[in-house]
Amino acid sequence: MTTNATPIINTRKLYIESYGCAMNFSDSEIIASIMHEHGFENTTDELDADVIFLNTCAIRDNAETRIRERLKHLRMNKRTNKDLIIGVLGCMAERLKDKLLEEEKLVDVVAGPDSYRDLPKLVAEVDGGGRAINVLLSREETYGDLNPVRLNSNGITAFVSIMRGCDNMCSFCVVPYTRGRERSRDSQSIVKEVLELHANGYKEITLLGQNVNSYLWFGGGQKKEFKKLTNEEQETAVDFADLLELVALAVPNMRIRYSTSHPRDINEKVVNIMAKYPNICNYIHLPAQSGNSRILDIMSRNYTREWYLDKIKMIRQIIPNCGITCDIITGFCTETEEEHHDTITLIEEAQFDFSYMYMYSERPGTPAAKKLTDDIPEDVKGRRLTEIIKVQNKMSLTKNTARIGKIVEVLVEGISKKSENDWMGRSDENIVVVFPKENHKKGEIVKVLIEKATVTTLIGKSIN
């Protein structure tokens, strides 16, 4: 590994907390790898730590509020450890920058998502009596040469980052401003990491990106659009469908998932590759955000309701039993009751297995914050969210109930939260399944006969 930082010789303890999306949790494993190379050991006890990093999310206001409260609590630890260093990393660091250092005085280190290689140097600056910040975004950084340190791992499932940043510029979203522009990681480095995970006994990997379907790598570098490549570059180019196939062939005994897809970019080539290889799970997370075309337009999603439903139809034609989940934002700027109802009917028509549903939260600096008025009252947003959750829960329960009497293959991930006598794992379609332990072991794929169902969970017994 190459860094510009001066190694810290003495061994010190590092404690990392991660918030938000799977990408943040994956990034924390990269951070741990970098710090390990510079003399830091991981600890799971914040009171034992010399350095505490919060890897943060800025996607919603309540996420930032939660992190601020956590920082105030952690500052109290300095009463008993005056040399404790506290850092805010990730999207919140990128958004607020030096405000965290100067105005709020809550932290010693601020580092954005593309400056993690600089963390040892930033810590050294604080050791010297200062405060340190690096929030420069990069058009090249992918951390593709690093071996992540798997944090809080179950030893069974792991994340593999395949790209960073986002070019979609949805009007409500802060990610392009906190994570920068899209850049894809060398496909061979991805396959190498997956092979290492397989050799270390992992059974399932999830390929991560803000929009995995726009992944594109070729021998000389990377560009956004395939059509802009020269003929020679196109011959060596690897798009997301190609990458899926490379990984599926490299580790035929591992389950493969991916997240997240943008409806505009998912295509038949990707879905056909999923159908071709049995180790690629039949599951797609396809955020719709709204069921109304006008709202989708002012969200800058670049598709219509009809386009989205056509994508759902295409997926179900190729993979009839594909699990599909969604993200929904309710109460976006100027949304009417009729448009809210369009989102309800979208859920009913698309028949999502599950949805992540939220009230709109205006994020400073986004196009929506600059050009639109957040004009839906909070009580109306809350009521609409309740209505959407009710419809989705009914849909989820209906779909799960229909699975009673069927046999599903479950990868055992660990002990059930509700009973020490039960295992929990996920089906191919990414549904949580609970069943008695019997003689099965973690990491085993078990055939389970489904006997009961709730909104979020299938319950059954092993028939192996």
**Residue 4 confidence (pLDDT) above 70:** no
Average pLDDT, rounded, for the chain: 93
CATH number of 12-134: 3.40.50.12160
Angstrom distance (rounded) from CA 84 to CA 211: 37
- Concatenating the DSSP letter of every residue in 187-236 gives HHHHHHHHHHHHHTT--EEEEE-TTGGG-EEBTTB--S-GGGS-HHHHHH
DSSP state of 21: S
- The 10s digit of each residue's pLDDT in 347-397 is 999 999 999 999 999 999 999 999 999 999 999 999 999 999 999 999 999
- In the prediction, which pLDDT does 101 show? 86
Q: Report yes or no: 444 and 288 within 8 Å, Cβ to Cβ.
A: no
Decide yes or no: CATH 1.10.8 for domain 407-462.
no
Task: Give the H/E segment covering residue 77.
Answer: none
- In the prediction, which pLDDT does 62 show? 83
- In the prediction, which pLDDT does 235 show? 75
Same fold, 12-134 and 282-402: no
**Residue 201 confidence (pLDDT) above 70:** yes
What is the fold of 282-402? Answer: Transcription Regulator spoIIAA (3.30.750)
pTM of the model: 0.92
- The 10s digit of each residue's pLDDT in 228-275 is 777 777 778 999 999 999 999 999 999 999 999 999 999 999 999 999
**Residue 5 confidence (pLDDT) above 60:** no
**At 352, phi and psi to the nearest 5?**
-65, 145
CATH number of 153-272: 3.30.750.210
Q: What is the mean pLDDT of residues 116-135?
A: 95
**Residue 2 confidence (pLDDT) above 50:** no
Q: How crowded is residue 375: how many other Cβ atoms within 10 Å of its Cβ? A: 11
- In the prediction, which pLDDT does 451 show? 98
The domain segmentation of the chain, as residue ranges, is: 12-134, 153-272, 282-402, 407-462
**Residue 428 confidence (pLDDT) above 60:** yes
- In the prediction, which pLDDT does 232 show? 72
Query: Smallest Cα–Cα separation from 393: which of 457, 323, 322, 316?
Result: 457
- In the prediction, which pLDDT does 61 show? 82
Query: Smallest Cα–Cα separation from 164: which of 199, 120, 115?
Result: 115
